Amino acid sequence: MIRIGQGFDVHQLAEGRKLIIGGVELPFEKGLLGHSDADVLLHAITDAILGAAGLGDIGHLFPDTDPEFKDADSIKLLQVANQKVLATGFTIGNIDCTILAEQPKMKPYLEQMKENIARACQIEADQINLKATTMEKMGFIGQEEGMGAIAVALLDK
């Protein structure tokens, strides 16, 4: 059985926060605001794999009302979600993602992000494709008020 899931996440940029994307801390004057570390890429991937397995979404598994997940490391959340997916008998075939951000440039960090995601999902880095794009200065992402990510995951049983 083959199933596909999609994930989408956005977070507002804020002063005094670290910018963590794909488990990599990027040098930038602002970070993403959220209950956890607000890693939009890992949140989108988590939603994609959970959705494909029929296991709900990141908010269901890790509610932002639960103090246990305050400032949580999203790599750890992805690892837990992946274990739940594996327990259903599914394995990840591939993951494809797009990061939506005006700046900073993501290209120098994409390989490390892929390695982090591969390790968390217990797959090979070549099963992951990462891209980044701007919003051409349009909307809240284009105006540098926030960042987003889109992900799809293919699961096989």
Report CA dihedral (62, 34, 108, 28) to the nearest 10 degrees.
Answer: -160
**How many domains would you assign to the chain?**
1
98 known member of a binding site: no
126 known member of a binding site: no
60 known member of a binding site: no
69 known member of a binding site: no
Q: Which secondary-structure segment (H or E) carries 80?
A: helix 74-87
Partner residues linked to 10 by β-bridges: 148
28 known member of a binding site: no
74 known member of a binding site: no
57 known member of a binding site: yes
Q: Which structural domain range is residue 6 located in? A: 2-156
CATH number of the domain bearing residue 22: 3.30.1330.50
Residue 65 banded pLDDT, cuts 50, 70, 90: confident
46 known member of a binding site: no
The backbone region for 65, taken as left when phi is positive above 0, alpha when psi lies in -120 to 50, beta otherwise, is alpha
Q: For 103-150, what is each residue's pLDDT tens digit?
A: 999 999 999 999 999 999 999 999 999 999 999 999 999 999 999 999
pTM for this prediction: 0.96
Q: For 20-35, what is each residue's pLDDT tens digit?
A: 999 999 999 999 999 9
90 known member of a binding site: no
Q: Which of 95, 67, 99 is nearest to 81 (CA)?
A: 95
24 known member of a binding site: no
73 known member of a binding site: no
